[in-house]
Amino acid sequence: SYELTQPPSVSVSPGQTATITCSGDKLENKYTCWYRQKPGQSPVLVMYQDSKRPSGIPERFSGSNSGNTATLTITETQPIDEADYYCQAWDTSTVFGGGTKLTVL
Amino acid sequence: QVHMVESGGGVVQPGRSLRLSCAASGFSFSDYAMHWVRQAPGKGLEWVALIAFNGKSESYADSVKGRFTISRDNSKNTVYLQMDSLRHEDTAVYYCARVSNVDGDYGDFDYWGQGTLVTVSS
């Protein structure tokens, strides 16, 4: 079965750039998206079709997908960005990555 | 606006059954595929099942295949998850989620319910 690998944790200082990766075999051949989940809340879509931002998501969020890696980049990271982030890949099936805890300190 | 509310969770003994419901509103329910995603306590998201917009196709994760059944009633704007032969490892918050694209079974999930907790325990 297809698997996606994310780093368990990423730490960044406020105002710096956070980069969260998601790796899978020939991932560029699939669509990827990203979710943000804060404690006790449902996931929220923050990036879809690799690099498109849903309405309401700040321009600080960007995404890419090339080769075996999809990347979510958050510039000027703020304390409110602290959350778990999950990638998802889909084509004729779907799978989630294991999640990355983003800490802003 | 789009709103989805899950119900039916609770505590159930191993081997027993439970049926979850997800009532949707604020969009044309019969146009969209619907999915169930679960999250065990302290763990990540796991895709569980999908049902096509018209109910004519379904797909399941290997972990639940043969035990869970997804269905929908477009006249009631509701999707269901029948869970049989429950195991301890099925303990999780179960979310229903809507696929963003009208014409596909798979896609990103642009709307999620608030989740309902299922605890399998003797």
CA distance, residue B76 to nearest chain A CA (Å): 23
Inter-residue contact B73 to B14 (CB < 8 Å): no
Which residues on adjacent β-strands are paired with residue A35? A45, A86
| pLDDT tens per residue, range A63-99 | 999 999 999 999 999 999 999 999 999 988 899 999 9
Alpha-carbon gap: A28 to the closest alpha carbon of chain B (Å): 15
Distance CA A103, CA B51 (A): 36
Out of B62, B106, B115, name the one closest to residue A42 (CB): B115
B66 exposed, middle or buried (CB, 10 Å; 0-12, 13-18, 19+)? Answer: exposed
Least CB–CB distance from A96: residue in B44, B59, B115: B44
CA distance A89 to chain B (A): 8
Hey, is the C-beta of A90 within 8 angstroms of any chain B C-beta? yes
Kindly report the average pLDDT of chain A as a whole number.
Answer: 97
* B100 interfacial to chain A (CB closer than 8 Å): yes
d(C-alpha B56, C-alpha B122), whole Å: 36
Q: Which tokens sit at B69? A: 């059944």
Across B68-76, average pLDDT: 98
B93: buried, middle or exposed (CB in 10 Å: 19+, 13-18, 0-12)? buried
Instruction: Out of A43, A49, A90, name the one closest to residue B45 (CB).
Output: A43
CA B53 to CA B62: how far, in whole Å? 22
A9: contact with B, CB 8 A cutoff: no
What per-residue confidence (pLDDT) applies to B82?
98
CA distance B63 to chain A (A): 12
Contact B110 A1 (CB under 8 A): no
In contact, B122 and B16? CB cutoff 8 Å: no
Partner residue opposite B106 with nearest CB, options A54, A93, A98: A93
Which amino acid, residue B36?
W
What is the predicted pLDDT for the residue at B103? 77
- pLDDT band of residue B104 (cuts 50, 70, 90) is confident
% pLDDT > 70, chain A: 100
Q: What is the DSSP string of chain A?
A: ----B--SEEEE-TTS-EEEEEE-TTGGGSEEEEEEE-TTS--EEEEBTTTBPPTTS-TTEEEEEETTEEEEEESS--GGG-EEEEEEEESSSEEE---EEEEE-
Which of B78, B113, B101 minimizes the C-alpha distance to B3? B113
